[in-house]
Structure 1
Amino acid sequence: MNKATLEAEQNFLKKQERLQMGQAQTKRSKNKNNRNLKFDSMEEYFIRNGGILLEKQIALSQGQHKGAGQLKIFSRNDIEKATNNYDPDLIVGRSAHHTVYKTTIEDRVLAVQAPSKRESNPLLIDLTLTEACTVMVMNHDNMVKLYGCCLETFVPIPVYEFLSNADLFHHLHGDIASSKRIKWADRLRAATDTAYALSYMHNALAKPVVHRGVNSSSVLLDFSCNAKLTNFGYSVSITPGEKPQRWPIEGTPGYIDPEYVETQEVTDKCDVYSFGVLLFELLTRRQPILMARDGTDLVDVFVSAVRKNCVMEIIDSEVLEEENRDGIQRVARLALSCVAKKGAERPTMIDVVGELWNIQGKDNK
């Protein structure tokens, strides 16, 4: 057992002991001051969240004890200090459930993912701990790194490495895109890195892990446009060779596999479909989620253009300037294979990675 693992386990046991002592004192005394109530709440959050995280880690890694010693445990005070009591000036991103703060801890530039609402939310707890557990267990260069986690809060607060160049969505559709559009070569690099991450999730463990949330907002970039996959809250582990388990429909409108919507069965081909939509998005610079809200579908639009032999009319002008017709058609064919109606007809993510390497003229190893 390494030093980091030993310290983490000792810290966990000490907090358990303090919680048990506090519970015993509660039984002997009917009166508690506010400070004790607050203290007990922090301890109880720590034990509950830590137990759920450990349970998820064991289930996901199938008992292989992956990720041990990689997680730094932060106190609530650590997080409040690092974010200057959640200073709005440190906010660098928002989502439906979280606010992201850029901070520096121990000379590392990090991202603190705090809940947007200061209230207990069982669903958000599950999403946050699923995401943290997935990143702990699935250690890959093209997946965002988890530096630590605070378990003393009502909703756990993960602390990730900070990627300085926003997400792929903003490079395609946001303020960044309006001033400087992402080049085609960089789009292909980001797609390849994302495919690597998904391939790893599907093959690294005995049971594939399916992301279920692949979209351009889930791809973070550095200044060299190297990409890292994030947003693992809806990830699930599946058992190959058995009838797929039914799961509630989760994902981003416009990217969700129609076969999954129809059957509620999750397979690794759900991610392949979503990745195919992402390739269409990179080719056309159209927004799948916005189109879905308007009642249209990017896949249908692209397939219709293929049938009418007018694909080049919907390709982004930047792509037309930077890539030849053959290169565009090869990426389009790959995307079309990914969004085949039946999952069994779609390629694996390993196949997708290989084809992306071939398209870029690189040695496929």
Structure 2
Amino acid sequence: MKRLAVKRRGIFALNFAVWTLLCIGSIALCLFGCCWVQRKSNLANVRAKHFTKNGGILLQRQFSSLHGSTRSPKIYSTQELKQATNNYHSTNILSSGGNGSVYKGILKDGSVVAVKKSQVVDKSHIDQFINEVVILTEINHRNVVKLLGCCLETQVPMLVYEFISNGTLCEKIHESDDPLERISWQSRFRIAVKTAGALSYLHSSTSTPIFHRDVKSSNILLDKNYTPKVADFGISRLVPLDKTKVSTMVLGTFGYLDPEYFNTGNLTEKSDVYSFGVVLLELLTGRKPICPHSSIEYHNLPMVFLSYVRNDNFVEILDDNVACEGKMEELQAVADLPRRCLRVKGGERPTMKEVKRSLEDLRVFLLFNCDYHLVMAPKRVTRTTSTFPPEIPVTPPETFTPPSESSATPTVSVSADQLQQMLQTMTGILQRGGRNKKAPSGSSTAATGSSVIRSSHRRFM
């Protein structure tokens, strides 16, 4: 009986311990579940609070008005972007700076995007951020990176852009040692033309003018065909139509910053013009705007370039590939643009529309000059014997004889204003050439040259 009593007490103690553990486990599980639910609820409340604070309701209403259009944006959730970027893993970082980082992401549908995650935001400018997002979704320009949507559930709103695969212009010019990735002079010139067109569009063709405020080579993306895409509108400003300048805190990148804007704090469209002039110098020289480790005379690229221009020996500062591939006349014409864009007083600089027109006029001239001589004359005109602008022969193509090497054409010196007038006159002649019913005896050559331009336009596009 004694043994039986001991055995019963043991069984009772075991059952008591088991039930006690089960009760404690159940209580712990309930507490954990309550905490988890509460945490999820708190996270949902925080996300909803951020969504409302960042203008999510307003953006949803405005985005719905664009539903069904090709530029219809999307509001992404935090979870979507976390999964797309592998929780913002460091291996997915495309670029990083003072304002934040850009990550490569792959959405569930397989599309590749770029997610811009900012570090800080000025709370007083939330309304401007909302307006900027709406304006950027309305931009439809082939050389401006497309905004696909945004995420408003975080403290700092995140933007989702189309992914451009070939890196930045800065990387190709300054950081690439691969000879196969060197950008040719024709590609550099085409990048300049299309970038100027994009900035001109932002300044004068959108519903509200946009001053980019941070034009630089690292903010110009390149696709596989070296087509430029202007990106990073993080510090851009929307300017009312009735204003030409905005007083604001000076922001930008040292080396590209407009000195007038730096001294006065007045942001104008000419501030972007100055920065674009620096980008032109990078395309021409292959040098960085600021080289702190170089000698004093090469420390500041704009000052060095203007010094070379004043001494009439700017060729010495050109990139080797540019100097070999480009003709002296076209390089002189292109080099005149940064000289005008880098003037200290903003009022003396051209507008982006004028810069765009000058580059396009020069492209028309280059198309005619290059293609005409390639088709009409087997021997290309050398730098020492070519003139600017060239004399157009009036001999019909059937009887045209290439000029001999011994007959050198005298060099003509022209100013920038004369160059502009000549290019406009030549463009007008080409446009009117096909409309004349009765052409003079030498007009067949001009018509042939015009057709050559149209047939080979793809080379410079």
Aligned-residue CA RMSD (Å) = 3.2
Amino acid at match of 1:342: K
Paired residues of 2:112 and 2:162 also in contact (CA < 8 A): yes
The match for 2:171 is 170
In structure 2, relative to structure 1, the CA distance for the partners of 1:204 and 1:238 (3 Å cut) is same
Q: CA deviation at 1:53?
A: 7.6
Paired residues of 1:338 and 1:347 also in contact (CA < 8 A): yes
Amino acid at match of 2:73: L
Moved more, 238-247 or 134-143: 238-247
**TM-superposition CA deviations, 1:111-161 (whole Å, max 9, x none):** 12234x6xx654798697676444223321111011121111122221111
Does structure 1 residue 198 correspond to structure 2 residue 223?
A: no
Q: CA deviation at 1:262?
A: 2.0
Q: CA deviation at 1:228?
A: 0.6
Aligned mates of 1:149, 1:292 — CA distance in 2: 40
Aligned mates of 1:244, 1:312 — CA distance in 2: 36
The match for 2:159 is 158
Paired residues of 2:257 and 2:271 also in contact (CA < 8 A): yes
Aligned mates of 2:180, 2:101 — CA distance in 1: 25
Q: CA deviation at 1:182?
A: 1.4
Amino acid at match of 2:284: L
Matches within 5 A, 1:112-191: 112-115=115-118, 121-122=121-122, 132-175=133-176, 180-191=181-192
Q: CA deviation at 1:33?
A: 2.9
In structure 2, relative to structure 1, the CA distance for the partners of 1:196 and 1:185 (3 Å cut) is same
The match for 2:322 is 319
Amino acid at match of 2:350: P
Aligned mates of 1:259, 1:169 — CA distance in 2: 25
The match for 1:111 is 114
Secondary structure of the corresponding residue to residue 330 of structure 2? helix
Does structure 1 residue 48 correspond to structure 2 residue 50?
A: no
Amino acid at match of 2:81: I
Secondary structure of the corresponding residue to residue 268 of structure 2? coil
What TM-score, normalized by structure 2, do the two folds share?
0.63
In structure 2, relative to structure 1, the CA distance for the partners of 1:42 and 1:226 (3 Å cut) is same
Secondary structure of the corresponding residue to residue 33 of structure 1? helix
Secondary structure of the corresponding residue to residue 287 of structure 1? coil
Amino acid at match of 1:315: L
The match for 2:362 is 359
Name structure 2 gaps, 5 residues minimum.
1-36, 369-426, 432-461
Secondary structure of the corresponding residue to residue 281 of structure 1? helix
In structure 2, relative to structure 1, the CA distance for the partners of 1:283 and 1:52 (3 Å cut) is farther
**TM-superposition CA deviations, 1:231-256 (whole Å, max 9, x none):** 11121122455473311111111111
In structure 2, relative to structure 1, the CA distance for the partners of 1:360 and 1:338 (3 Å cut) is same
Amino acid at match of 2:55: G
In structure 2, relative to structure 1, the CA distance for the partners of 1:140 and 1:234 (3 Å cut) is same
Secondary structure of the corresponding residue to residue 101 of structure 1? strand
In structure 2, relative to structure 1, the CA distance for the partners of 1:93 and 1:189 (3 Å cut) is same
Secondary structure of the corresponding residue to residue 225 of structure 1? coil
Moved more, 314-323 or 289-298: 289-298
Secondary structure of the corresponding residue to residue 106 of structure 2? strand
What TM-score, normalized by structure 1, do the two folds share?
0.79
Does structure 1 residue 328 correspond to structure 2 residue 328?
A: no
> Which residue among 75, 78, 83 is the counterpart of 2:77?
75
Amino acid at match of 2:269: D
Determine which structure has more spread, i.e. the larger CA radius of gyration. 2
Q: CA deviation at 1:94?
A: 2.4
In structure 2, relative to structure 1, the CA distance for the partners of 1:291 and 1:345 (3 Å cut) is farther
Secondary structure of the corresponding residue to residue 113 of structure 2? strand
Does structure 1 residue 265 correspond to structure 2 residue 266?
A: yes
Aligned mates of 2:310, 2:175 — CA distance in 1: 31
Amino acid at match of 2:43: K
Paired residues of 1:131 and 1:234 also in contact (CA < 8 A): no
In structure 2, relative to structure 1, the CA distance for the partners of 1:357 and 1:166 (3 Å cut) is same
In structure 2, relative to structure 1, the CA distance for the partners of 1:357 and 1:49 (3 Å cut) is same
In structure 2, relative to structure 1, the CA distance for the partners of 1:271 and 1:287 (3 Å cut) is same
In structure 2, relative to structure 1, the CA distance for the partners of 1:45 and 1:242 (3 Å cut) is closer
Moved more, 184-193 or 90-99: 90-99
The match for 2:28 is none
Amino acid at match of 1:75: S
Matches within 5 A, 1:3-14: none
Aligned residues: 324
Aligned mates of 1:284, 1:318 — CA distance in 2: 9
Paired residues of 1:257 and 1:273 also in contact (CA < 8 A): yes
Aligned mates of 1:360, 1:291 — CA distance in 2: 35
Amino acid at match of 1:48: K
Higher RCO (C-alpha 8 Å, min separation 6): 1
Q: CA deviation at 1:54?
A: 4.5
Amino acid at match of 2:324: E
**TM-superposition CA deviations, 1:302-335 (whole Å, max 9, x none):** 1111112221111111100110111111111011
Q: CA deviation at 1:341?
A: 2.1
In structure 2, relative to structure 1, the CA distance for the partners of 1:66 and 1:251 (3 Å cut) is farther
Paired residues of 1:277 and 1:299 also in contact (CA < 8 A): yes
Aligned mates of 1:96, 1:309 — CA distance in 2: 39
In structure 2, relative to structure 1, the CA distance for the partners of 1:152 and 1:197 (3 Å cut) is same
Does structure 1 residue 91 correspond to structure 2 residue 80?
A: no
The match for 1:256 is 257
In structure 2, relative to structure 1, the CA distance for the partners of 1:241 and 1:41 (3 Å cut) is closer
In structure 2, relative to structure 1, the CA distance for the partners of 1:124 and 1:110 (3 Å cut) is farther
In structure 2, relative to structure 1, the CA distance for the partners of 1:310 and 1:249 (3 Å cut) is same
Paired residues of 2:81 and 2:105 also in contact (CA < 8 A): no
Does structure 1 residue 301 correspond to structure 2 residue 338?
A: no
In structure 2, relative to structure 1, the CA distance for the partners of 1:124 and 1:237 (3 Å cut) is closer
Secondary structure of the corresponding residue to residue 266 of structure 1? strand
